[in-house]
Structure 1
C-alpha cells in the first residue's frame, strides 16, 4: 500500500478572448477496496460556479460554469489517496466461466448486457476475425489465458502513436492503420472482448512507475493521464487489462472513473465560443508524490488570475498518454 498525492494541472491558452461553456470535469476517484480517497481539492481559473453530480456509472463529476471572457483556462486537481494495487493472484473464476464460450448467470446478465453489446461498426468483421487468432496457442480457450494473450498481442502487434485529433478511433480503423493511442487500444480490446460475448468497459486514470518513487515527502515524479479497460469474469469480478503496456492490473494504474464508452469518460469535456481564427495552446502536467503514513494537509495552488477554489466533496471515513481532449470550439 502506498499513500500518494497526485497533482494534475491542465492549462489552455487562447490567442484572443473567448467565452467558456460549461465544462464537465472527471478528476475525483471513487473509494474502493483497492483505493481509499483521503483528501481532494480543485482549483479553477477563471473563477467558476461548480456543482457536483454522479453520472450513470456512479462516477463523481464536477460541472464548472463560467461568466465573462478569458484567454486562459487552468484546472488544478489535487488528490491524496491510499493505493493498494492489485493482489498477486487473481480471485478464482467460476468453474463455468473458465473456458470460452460461456454465458453469464441469469442474475448478472441483465446488468451486464450493455457491456456485452457491440457498440462500433465492423462491417467486414475485422475485429472479430482478428480476435480469433488469440484463441490458439498455450491455454487454448482458457478464458484468462486468452485475455492475457489478447492484451499482450495488442501491444506487440500494433504500434503506439501519439494522435492529436479529438476522440477515439474506431476499432476497425486501429487495426487498419496498425496503431493508435492508449484510448484506441483500450477500445479495441473492449470490442474484441465483446465479440467473444464478454462484458467489458473503459477506464480512465493515471499511469506512473512506483520504481521511481523518491523517499516519502521528497521530490515528485511524473505520472500520465492514461486509459485502459476491464472485463467482467464471474467469481473474479471486474479484472483490469492495460493493452498499451501489455499488463494485467498493476500498482502502476490508478483508476479514476469507469464507463461503457470512452466518450463517457473524458477527464475534461467542454466548449468555448470565439472567432474562427482563435488558436489554443494546451499544457498537461501530472505529478505524483509518495507521502508518509501521516496525512499531509492540502496546500492550495496559487494562480495568477483570481481562481475559484471548489473543494471536492470530502471522502467518507473508511476503516483501517493523453486521455484528455481540448475543449471543443463552438462558433
Structure 2
C-alpha cells in the first residue's frame, strides 16, 4: 500500500524562546517492508543550525537549533511511503520457552539486538501485579509465542478504555494498569512492561496509522495523531513482529514506522531544551492518505 503522509506540529510560546535545540524523529524509517520514495521536512522560522543524523536504533533524526528569539515554531513533514508488510504467521512461531532460550543465546549488541529491550528503561518498569496478569494470558508455555502475544494485545484492547486526555507523558505503567485507561503510548508501555516481565524482548514503535480504513472496516483508534505500538522479538527466524494493543491487532500495511526504541523516550517525535517562561500550546495534525 502506498501513502501520502503529512505531519504538522506547531508551538505557540507566550514569551519569546531563546537558545532552543531540538531532535526531530518524524521521518519514516527505511526498512525491508517499508519503502520511502521521498520525504521533506520544512521548519519555520528557519533554524540557525540543522543537520541530519541517525541515532543508535537506526532512526532518522533532524537536529535543529535556534539562537534568535521566537514566539512560534511550525514543523511540517511530507512523505511518499509504500508498506508491504506480510501478515505474521503467528501460529507458526516458536513456543515461548524456545524464544527465551534463543534470547539468552544472543551475543550481538547491534541496533536490532533484543538484548537492549529486556530490562527496565526510562519510562518502563515491571511490577508483580502486571506480571501475574500477563501470566494469566500466556497460561501455557506450549502455546506459540506469537499467539500468546496477540492474545495479550487483544486483552489490553478489551479491558482498557481509550481515553485521550486521561493521562500525561509521565504517567507510569502502574498508574495505567490501575486506572485501566489511557492512549496508544500508555497501552504500548503497558504491553512492553508485561512482556519484559515474562522475559521477552519488546520495543516501542512510533509512527503513523492509516486514517482511511478499507471499505467495511471500522476506523482505527489513534489515527489523527502520531500512533504508537510495540514489536516483540519472536526468535531468530521471525525477528521483530509488530502488535497494536490500542486496536488489538497485528501491525500491518496500515502502520507506518517512524522510530523504534526502548520506550517513548527513545522515539518521541520532538525532544530538546529551550529557555522561556510560562506555558506553551502545541497542536498536531496528521494525514495519511492512500495513493491509488
| TM-score after normalising by structure 2 | 0.86
Cross-structure match for 1:114: 116
- Tell me by how many angstroms 1:133 deviates: 1.4
Mapped to 2, the partners of 1:104 and 1:230 lie a distance apart of: 17
Mapped to 2, the partners of 1:178 and 1:91 lie a distance apart of: 29
- Tell me by how many angstroms 1:182 deviates: 0.8
Does 1:98 find its partner at 2:95?
yes
1:190-247 deviation digits (Å, cap 9, x = unpaired): 111111111110000011244369xxxxxxxx74310100101112110101101100
- Tell me by how many angstroms 1:135 deviates: 2.4
Cross-structure match for 2:185: 183
- RMSD over aligned Cα atoms: 2.4
Cross-structure match for 1:79: 79
Q: 5+ unaligned residues in a row in structure 2: which ranges?
A: 216-222
Q: 1:71 to 1:118 in 2, by over 3 A?
A: closer
- Tell me by how many angstroms 1:256 deviates: 0.8
Does 1:130 find its partner at 2:139?
no
Cross-structure match for 2:255: 253
Mapped to 1, the partners of 2:64 and 2:251 lie a distance apart of: 32
Contact kept, 8 Å, 1:140 with 1:146, in 2: the verdict is no
1:253-305 deviation digits (Å, cap 9, x = unpaired): 11111111221110011233222xx332211111123335xxxxxxxxxxxxx
Contact kept, 8 Å, 2:43 with 2:76, in 1: the verdict is yes
SS in structure 2 at match of 1:224: coil
Q: 1:43 to 1:290 in 2, by over 3 A?
A: same
Q: 5+ unaligned residues in a row in structure 1: which ranges?
A: 214-221, 293-331
Contact kept, 8 Å, 2:126 with 2:193, in 1: the verdict is no
SS in structure 1 at match of 2:101: coil
Question: Out of 144, 153, 156, which is 1:154 matched to?
Answer: 156
Cross-structure match for 1:14: 13
Equivalent positions of 1:196-275 (< 5 A) are 196-211=198-213, 223-234=224-235, 235-275=237-277
Q: Which of these two proteins has the greater Rg computed from alpha carbons?
A: 1
Contact kept, 8 Å, 2:206 with 2:226, in 1: the verdict is yes
- Tell me by how many angstroms 1:173 deviates: 1.6
Contact kept, 8 Å, 2:11 with 2:73, in 1: the verdict is yes
Contact kept, 8 Å, 1:100 with 1:142, in 2: the verdict is no
Total equivalences in the alignment: 276
Mapped to 1, the partners of 2:81 and 2:280 lie a distance apart of: 33
Q: 1:190 to 1:62 in 2, by over 3 A?
A: same
SS in structure 1 at match of 2:13: strand
| TM-score after normalising by structure 1 | 0.76
